[in-house]
Amino acid sequence: MTKLWGGRFKERTATDVEAYTQSISYDAALYAQDIRGSQAHARMLARQGVLTDEEAKQLVAGLDRIRSDIESGQFVWKPELEDVHMNIESRLTELVGDVGKKLHTGRSRNDQVALDFRLFVSDRLRVWRKLVVALVGVFLKRAREQQATLLPGCTHMQPAQPVSLAQHLLAYAWMFTRDAGRLADCERRVRISPLGAAALAGTTYPLDPASVAEELGMYGTFDNSMDAVSDRDFVIESLFCASTIMMHLSRFCEEIIYWANPSFGFVRLPDAYSTGSSIMPQKKNPDVAELMRGKVGRVYGDLTAMLTILKGLPLTYNRDLQEDKEPFLDADATVTASLSLMAGQLDALTFEAQRMHHALGLGFLNATELADYLVGKGIPFREAHHITGRAVALAEERGVRLEELPLADLDALCDRIGEDVYTVLNYDAAVARRNTSGGTGPVAVAAQMDKLERWLADNA
Ligand code: ARG
């Protein structure tokens, strides 16, 4: 077997070296992008008079045939041919004869692999973005159903103030809108064509990189050939986007996990998204949410791997860069599966409004209301805070809620408290009053939902 690069070699590559250096076991995933790129390159070579139109036609047709052979499972991948690029090129020459050997004119595997991977990554970023937008749609749908459901809003994981479940769910919807924005922004930098940079220094052939970029639907071409073949910061940014998506998913997973604990009982897990225990018959475990929370670790690992691979690499292409593919493929599989599973799980989740309402009474969540009420009666806020604290202590001592303290006892703490205090202590009223922009009040929540609806229409 002669390697495509074998001219100056006398001895064959050691078998374990072939196994160590090959990338075909994972970069075959880039076949469609490799073929698209090669076809655009061949057409450009013909436009520039480097190849004849007939030669370009033969190359394009041979590459079409290879694509359909790959897709029908007939293509034979050869590990000794190292990677996807040489597997396809060597098969092309078998199919179309010597003209196949002209495809690589004015091109190196260094700009070729950078092109293929940029196309691949940007194609995947578009897929992630669609999944993120779909998930925002599910958060919005569930929020619309839960405007009247109240639950304790927490700080420090301690009951703080009542909020609507809609407000809580919408907080996540907004996080994912930012993820979608990051993906779109990132994609503009990834989808830039490095073809024409050749090995590292550009080429002597009269290439037209801009027309290749345009044919491939890319946003532009490289500015510096050395940067073009050695840059992988586009992989780092993409993995950062994946990491942030996973981090957001895992925060909601954590809520699902503790909400499903019977001590809370705020949600009931759909059977399809939970599993049982082999020893404890009563168990219904939130495994999907737990695994998703756990898988954040591997995606952060993928990002860390890529940051580490690039650190200290001199210009230009170094074989280390071949290590860019597996972390990305791993993150891609994880983030796509997680996003679509979360959408399904959230859609099927049952919210237990009664349990949430019961929890409102457990942590003096209306204490701020009492303090604000006193301020309304002309008492300075610090003093109002202090009086309310004493009311909380009294209620706690008696094992009752604030609204269960008789007026006489409240009056003893501050004589400006009147019968109207009990309307203020009502939880629904507390939520209904918070209509400042972005707040949990129904008017403010409706405005958020309208804005999200418009965002979804713009990002469909
Ligand atoms: N499989 C290689 C990679 O992924 C392709 C580029 C190889 N270039 C080279 N000069 N050996 O990086």
HEC string of 280-318 equals CCCCCECHHHHHHHHHHHHHHHHHHHHHHHHCCCCCCCC
CB 173 within 8 A of CB 122: no
Mean pLDDT, residues 390-400: 96
CB 106 within 8 A of CB 49: no
Average pLDDT, whole number, for the chain? Answer: 96
Is the pLDDT at 57 greater than 80? The verdict is yes
Task: Tell me which residue of 365, 351, 355 sits closest to 163, measured CA to CA.
Answer: 365
Active-site pick, 25, 68, 277, 340: 277
Mean pLDDT confidence for 422-439: 94
Is residue 97 within 8 Å of 185, Cβ to Cβ?
no
In this predicted structure, what is the pLDDT of residue 278?
77
pLDDT (average), residues 162-166: 98
Per the structure block, which two tokens stand in for 83? Answer: 């990677």
User: At residue 283, does pLDDT exceed 80?
Assistant: no
Q: How far is the CA of 441 from the centre of ligand 1 (A)?
A: 57
Residue to substitute in 5, 38, 104, 110 for testing ligand 1 pocket (most ligand atoms within 8 angstroms of CB): 110
Ligand 1 proximity of 110 Cβ (cutoff 6 Å):
yes
Higher-pLDDT residue of 171, 270: 171
Q: Mark whether 168 is an active-site residue.
A: no
- Ligand 1 atom 12: the closest Cα is on which residue? 322
Q: Give the pLDDT mean for 31-57.
A: 98
Judge contact between 250 and 296, C-beta under 8 A: yes
Dist. CA 61 → ligand 1 center (Å): 25
User: What is the per-residue pLDDT for 1?
Assistant: 55
Whole-number Å distance between alpha carbons of 390 and 396: 10
Query: Is the bond into 440 cis (omega within 30 degrees of 0)?
Result: no
Q: Which pair of structure tokens corresponds to residue 284?
A: 């219904």
Q: Which atom of ligand 1 is nearest to the CA of 321?
A: 12
Residue 151, Cβ neighbours under 10 Å: how many?
Answer: 27
What is residue 104's predicted lDDT score, i.e. its pLDDT?
96
pLDDT at residue 45 is higher than 90:
yes
Is 86 near ligand 1, meaning CB less than 6 Å away? no
**Ligand 1 pocket residue status of 23, Cβ below 6 Å:** yes
- Tokens standing for 298? 């591997």
Contact 38, 84 (CB under 8 A): no
State what percent of residues in the chain have pLDDT above 70.
100
pLDDT reported for residue 450: 98
Q: Give the per-residue pLDDT at 281.
A: 75
Per-residue pLDDT, 381 = 95
Residue whose CA is closest, atom 4 of ligand 1? 322
* Phi, psi dihedral angles at 4 (to 5 degrees): -60, -25
What is the reported pTM? 0.95
Contact 159, 357 (CB under 8 A): no
Mean pLDDT, range 29-54, rounded to an integer: 98
Rounded to an integer, the average pLDDT of 208-227 is 98
pLDDT at residue 277 above 90? no
Task: Please indicate whether residue 386 is annotated as part of the active site.
Answer: no
Cβ partners under 8 Å of residue 254, min gap 6: 289, 293
| pLDDT higher than threshold 80 for residue 2 | no
Confidence (pLDDT) at 282:
79
pLDDT mean over 359-382: 94
**3-state SS, one letter per residue, for 123-143:** HHHHHHHHHHHHHHHHHHHHH
pLDDT at 448 over 90: yes
Q: What is the share, in percent, of the chain residues with pLDDT greater than 90?
A: 93
